[in-house]
Amino acid sequence: MGGPYDGTAFNPARAFGPDVARGDLSTYWVYLLGAVLGAILAVIVANFLCAPAKSNEAMAAMGIPLDKTN
């Protein structure tokens, strides 16, 4: 959407080719910084949303039956 105005692209690989051809990598830092910040934010959100497993849940995930009376 913003490509005609400021040269942006949704695909960083698509933006890298023309930048290399022009010899101008001055705006490529945005794609690298965005990926790193997105990964850090994803880890923070995942840790916030997914609490540590309780012992019963961990045992069930390992295949240990919770009810050993059967």
Q: Is residue 25 part of a domain?
A: yes
What are the structure tokens assigned to 28, written together?
A: 């490529």
What confidence tens digit (pLDDT) does each residue in 23-45 have? 988 888 888 898 899 999 999 99
Q: What is the mean pLDDT of the chain?
A: 80
Domain coverage including residue 33: 3-61
Q: Is the pLDDT of residue 10 over 70?
A: yes
The model's pTM is 0.56
Which one has a higher pLDDT value, 42 or 58?
42
Q: Is residue 67 part of a domain?
A: no
How far are the Cα atoms of 20, 22, 25, 38, 50 from residue 16, in angstroms, in the given order?
6, 10, 8, 19, 36
Q: Is residue 70 part of a domain?
A: no
Look at residue 60 in the predicted model and tell me its pLDDT: 81
Based on the structure, what is the number of domains in the chain? 1
Q: Is residue 26 part of a domain?
A: yes
Q: Is residue 41 a contact partner of residue 25, using CB atoms and an 8 Å limit? A: no
Q: Is residue 66 part of a domain?
A: no
